[in-house]
Structure formats: structure tokens, C-alpha cells
Amino acid sequence: MSNEKEVVVIGAGGRMGGAIIRCLVSQQVAGLRLRGAVERSGTAAIGQDAGQLHGAPPAGIPVTSDLAAALEGADVAIDFTTAAAATAHASLLAGAGVAWVLGTTGFTAEQSAAVTTVGDQIPLVMAPNMSLGVNLLLQLVTEAARALALGYDIEIVERHHRHKHDAPSGTALALGRAAAAGRGWELDQVSRHGRSGMVVTDRPEHEIGFHAVRGGDFVGDHTVILAGAGESVELAHRATSRDTFALGALRAAAWAAGRAPGVYDMRAVLGLDQAP
């Protein structure tokens, strides 16, 4: 009897879904096996072999729009869709008792609350970015913002491909929360999104600026700037392949399958929330 965990990929026709499927088919993460691939009805991906759809060897798994059927016998689902779609998936995942790795961003407060309620029934790993490097960066940003608390302004610049819909990115917002935590601020009270025109006063001290670039095929670049008088410090992460995020999501899936119900993040998956 196989000890492999059975994985369903939701959003199988997308860029991230494709990267996850390629990594699964090529067995880049041990102990996981593709069981199902789901995409919304009416798309060209429906009925195609999930592996061949993304240039990988045949997986023997046709893409379907029936999420409930795909979840039968699964251990964990990985979801990179839209905020509205993921919110609609919550009750099905909870009802099936399947662990959920959620990399979707752009949730409203109401959608986020609806999604996180499933933590009472299943393990949910919810993170705006699943790369190891970004999650280490979050920790460094908090420490830097705390250490450079006097006289250093904080600005966050992010670049993504032209097809990304939400701005700023979920990762940029997470970096903003990390910086705000280092300063003892509430991000909602100090965030500023872009600038234009003439301003009457100087930049406020209690402010975190966000700037979103959309164009080309940037996978994801994030830079946190701490600018002081006479010097600046920049903490940056640049992704050059979606496989970075795919492998992180698969690592989260292996960790979440069979775990106790609850809402977790990548810090828990990577052990970064443990005391040294």
C-alpha cells in the first residue's frame, strides 16, 4: 500500500497550477502524487491530460470541472485560483475533510473570514507567498524596521507580469505588515498606495508606501527600502521561476496532509515560528 499523499490541484489550467503539476509529475517532492486536476467549466483545459497540458509527461489525470468528485480519496488540495473562486471552494474542502493549501491572494475582509472558518474542520495553510526566500525576508524586514526605527522611511516596490490582477500583491502587503510589526504600527493606518501630483506637506514619518509595477513577464520582484539621511538599506527578493512557489506549495501540502485542523502559514511549515 502506497504511503504517498494524494494531491488535487485547483486552478490546473493556470500558470501556478501548471508549475505545480509539472513538479508533481516529475516527482520533485517525494511522498506526493497527483490525484486530481480541476479548472472552471468551459475552459480549454477541460478533458485534457493534466501533465501534457503543461508540457510534462502524461499524468493519466484528465482536467475536470467537478471539484467534489476530484476530492474523493484526496489527502490535500492546492488552490491557486481567484479570491471569489477560493471562497466558494471552502465548504467543499471542509465537507470532504481534505487539507487545503491556499496561495490565492486579493481577498476582501469578508472573503478572508469565510475562508479561515474552515480551520475548525481541516488544516488550512494560507500564505501570500510560499517560497522559502520570501518567508525569510518577512522575518528580516521586521527586524530591520525595528532596528532602523528612527529617521528611516519605508517604501515597498513590487513588479509582476501584466496578467496579475490584484495590486499591491499579497506578498507586498505581507511585507508591509512585517515592517509595520517592527515599528509597532497598524498597517491599515499607515499605508499609502502610490503618489501623484503636488503634496502640501513632507512625507509623514508614520507611513509605508506601496508601488506596484505591472508589465511583461515578471514572475515576482519585491523590494523593501528603508531610506534614511545619507544612506538606505534595501531588502529584496526576485523570483525567476514559478517552480520556486510550486515547490513551496508542495512542501506545504506534504506538511499539511494529516495534520490537526487549524489555520497555518508558511512560517509554521518551515519551522520559522519555533523558538531558537
pLDDT value of position 212: 97
pLDDT over threshold 90, residue 1: no
Q: Which of 183, 193, 179 is nearest to 235 (CA)?
A: 179
At 203-260, the pLDDT tens digits run 999 999 999 999 999 999 999 999 999 999 999 999 998 899 999 999 999 999 999 9
Task: Specify the higher pLDDT residue, 181 or 198.
Answer: 181
pLDDT value of position 232: 98
Q: Based on the residue annotation, tell me whether 160 is a catalytic residue of this protein.
A: yes
Catalytic residue among 164, 211, 222, 237: 164
Three-state SS at 191: strand
Q: Rounded CA gap, 111 and 121, in Å?
A: 17
Beta bridge partners of 6: 33
Three-state SS at 214: strand
Mean residue pLDDT across the chain: 93
List domains and CATH numbers for the chain: 5-126+242-270 (3.40.50.720), 132-239 (3.30.360.10)
Q: Based on the residue annotation, tell me whether 161 is a catalytic residue of this protein.
A: no
Q: Band the pLDDT of 56: cuts 50, 70, 90.
A: very high
Task: Write phi, then psi, for 238 (nearest 5 degrees).
Answer: -130, 120
pTM, 2 dp: 0.80
Q: Band the pLDDT of 165: cuts 50, 70, 90.
A: confident
Q: Band the pLDDT of 276: cuts 50, 70, 90.
A: very low
Task: Specify the higher pLDDT residue, 182 or 166.
Answer: 182
pLDDT value of position 274: 56
Q: Give the percent of the chain with pLDDT over 90.
A: 85
Question: Which residue is listed with cell 513590487?
Answer: 158
pLDDT value of position 83: 94
At 17-48, the pLDDT tens digits run 999 999 999 887 889 999 999 999 999 999 99
Q: Rounded CA gap, 127 and 264, in Å?
A: 8
| Beta strands at 262-264 and 123-126: parallel, antiparallel or unpaired | parallel
Catalytic residue among 5, 54, 160, 237: 160
DSSP annotation string for 81-138: S-HHHHHHHHHHHHHHT-EEEE------HHHHHHHHGGGGTSEEEE-S---HHHHHHH
